Amino acid sequence: MVVYGIRQGVGQVKLINSAVPVEEAKGKVTARQAAKIQLIQEVKTYAKNQLHLNVEESSYASFVLQDSTSTMWVVTAAEPFALKDYNWNYGPVGKMPYKGFFDYSLAKKEEEFISKQGYDTELGTASGWSTLGILSEPILSNMLERDSARLVELIIHELTHATIYHFGETIWNENMATFIGREGTKRFLIEELKDTTLLLRYEESLQQKELRSQFIQAKAKALNNLYESEPFKVLSSQEKVELKTTFMQEFVTAYKTQFPRRKHNFSILPNNTLFTDFLMYHSNLDSLELVLQHQYQGDLPQLILEHK
């Protein structure tokens, strides 16, 4: 972990050192990108003054033009026959169900190492990250590929991590950041941008995400019931693999049927990480909505203040 920590620090410092101030960046990028950079500055101001999130002046005050579309990679893993995350031990910081890298070869090596131990694995990319206010995160050029609403959500999500964070409670942290990211975005679009059209499109996209969320959570529940059933437990490993494969094949078919217009990448059959990764960010959103409405009467800034 010491070596890993050093590598992560070096990777982050390299990114930060390659960044240029946002005002300089605006003159070197397209008009559309410059507008997105300016939008991020407005989100920072709103998040600090209206949502009461912790916002350092140096956060997202610089810009990195990436050599490729990906700069950060994340490895996640899960038990082969249970919807249970594999957790990496980060010492005093606690355990977390993912491991990030700034070097693809190291990420791939880690994924292969965990996979050889019998776990389901996933190697994906990350569009943003938070150092919890320790370092100044730059704007990455691939962030600007998002539409305006999704960009606002990303920034508020990451700023939430720098404000509200419980060590060793990743699922709670990620659900809280996802929830505040979405709720904060809706407020920013109407209160700051006064763009009802963009708000409507964003809310429609959230409705579609909710439909997919319900679908995936229902399938996760069915898969979990299969794993925990007594008939499954007494099967041989090969028989368990066959049943699991059949479930995943049926899931892919049902998903494509249910969401034919949704982009999906099922070039390889999904595994348990599809469900554990999803639940990490979405399993408690309904509960948080109830808390916001009933305990705080819809007052999002007050919820944030009391959870700092």
* Those residues with Cβ within 8 angstroms of residue 59's Cβ, 6 or more apart along the chain or in another chain: 44, 133, 136, 137, 159, 162
Q: pLDDT higher for 226 or 136?
A: 226
Phi, psi of 71 (to 5 degrees): -120, -30
Q: Does residue 21 sit within a domain?
A: yes
Q: Does residue 76 sit within a domain?
A: yes
Confidence of residue 237 (pLDDT cuts 50, 70, 90): very high
Q: Does residue 231 sit within a domain?
A: no
Q: Does residue 189 sit within a domain?
A: yes
Give the per-residue pLDDT at 46: 98
Alpha helices in the chain (DSSP H): 2-17, 22-26, 31-49, 104-116, 148-161, 170-191, 196-228, 230-233, 237-258, 272-282, 285-290, 300-307
Mean pLDDT throughout 273-295? Answer: 95
Domain containing 10: what range?
2-202+284-307
Whole-number average pLDDT of the chain: 92
The answer to whether residue 290 scores a pLDDT higher than 70 is yes
Give the per-residue pLDDT at 262: 80
Q: Of the given ranges (5-9, 58-62, 177-181, 257-261), which has the lowest mean pLDDT?
A: 5-9
Tokens of 143: 């962030």
Confidence of residue 5 (pLDDT cuts 50, 70, 90): low
Q: Does residue 249 sit within a domain?
A: no
Q: Does residue 211 sit within a domain?
A: no
- Pairing, β 72-78 against β 95-96: unpaired
Q: How far apart are CA 148 and CA 159, in angstroms?
A: 17
The answer to whether residue 10 scores a pLDDT higher than 80 is no
Confidence of residue 35 (pLDDT cuts 50, 70, 90): very high
Q: Does residue 261 sit within a domain?
A: no
Confidence of residue 70 (pLDDT cuts 50, 70, 90): low
pTM, entire model: 0.89
Give the per-residue pLDDT at 102: 86
Q: Does residue 260 sit within a domain?
A: no
Q: pLDDT higher for 89 or 7?
A: 89
The answer to whether residue 119 scores a pLDDT higher than 70 is yes
Q: How many domains is the chain partitioned into structurally? A: 1
The answer to whether residue 130 scores a pLDDT higher than 70 is no
